[in-house]
Chains A and B, each alone.
Chain A
Amino acid sequence: MMRSTFRRLTRGRWPAVRPDEQLSCREVGRLLQRFLDGELEDDVAVRAIVAHLDHCPPCELERDVYERISTSLAAGARPVDPDSLARLEAFGRRLADG
């Protein structure tokens, strides 16, 4: 309980997840974005989240919805204007060539 409270206050950064620790849905919810973005560097925490998701359909659904949102956003990213890019790359080469 105390661990969970401190982790909430430090936005999941402390204390670290223990290897035998079972995370609550609330804690998984707090770490889920970093987990999905590959920004969670703690392997123990990653394994604890995976173990939780495997046995918790509501959290698994939550993960699926957020993944779908991220995929949709990434797919909707407009390509950069190729003319702008070409002009800037040419500008950069001119700078490099002096």
Chain B
Amino acid sequence: MSTDTTSADAFERYVLPEVEVMLRVARSLTRNHADAEDLVQDTMLRAYRAIDRFDGRHPRAWLLTILRNTHINRNRRRRPELLRDPDLQLERAAQDPETDEALRPDRFIDLEFDHEVRDALDALPPMFGQVVELVDLDGLSYQEAADVLGVPIGTVMSRLHRARKKIRDTLRTAGVAPTYADLAVGRTP
């Protein structure tokens, strides 16, 4: 088997299955679909060039580290944002219909809860919101989130703890998440 074939096999085995995760993470980092796609493409290109030096262990962690470094380099270069594809924007707008499920009366309280959760997430300082996005929305482990952010795993834990606590407090202030006192009162006949 030639070296080229081996590299191609390794790329197919280790990189291609992770494209969707990379795209999710890139979206959390860039907050922009077009930039996210561009970032993943650059990451794949770098991964392809480096695949011969990859030992095959923890491919996701390896790729997310490349993605993070690529993201940092791109920000340093301050390249102008790519123009968004207007057709894609229209298409996306059409993909957000009011479903029957969403209009069910017994879903209203859940929808209000979901809405408050999303608002609370958006209101978090970026440093904290990013960790929640990586773990809760993108499904990364703590170690993977630490790799992406370039911070120790303990920092991921503490940021996540504080961020979720803040979301919980916001929900309680908005009256959509019960406190124990609420439940105790609710139990009286």
B52-60, B68-76, B133-141 - interface stretch: B133-141
Q: Is the beta-carbon distance between B12 and A39 smaller than 8 angstroms? A: no
Say yes or no: is B36 at the interface (Cβ < 8 Å to chain A): yes
- A61's partner among B118, B136, B178 (CB-CB below 8 A) is B178
CA distance A80 to B139 in the complex (A): 13
Q: Is the CB of B158 within 8 A of A11?
A: yes
Of B19, B40, B171, B183, the contact of A69 (CB 8 Å cutoff): B171
B136 pairs with A92, CB closer than 8 A = no
| A92–B22 alpha-carbon span in the complex (Å) | 12
Chain B residues lying within 8 Å of A84, measured Cβ to Cβ, are 23, 33, 36-37, 40
- Could you tell me if B178 and A65 are in contact, using CB atoms closer than 8 angstroms? yes
Interface centre among A33, A66, A70 (most CB of B within 10 A): A33
Residues of B with Cβ closer than 8 Å to A?
4, 8, 11-12, 15-16, 19-20, 22-24, 27, 33, 36-37, 40-41, 44-45, 48, 88, 92, 110, 113-114, 117-118, 121, 132, 135-139, 141-142, 154, 157-158, 160-161, 164, 167-168, 171, 177-180, 183
**Chain A residues close to B by CB (< 8 Å):** 11, 33-34, 37, 39, 57-58, 61, 65-66, 68-70, 72-77, 80-81, 83-85, 87-89, 91-93, 95-98
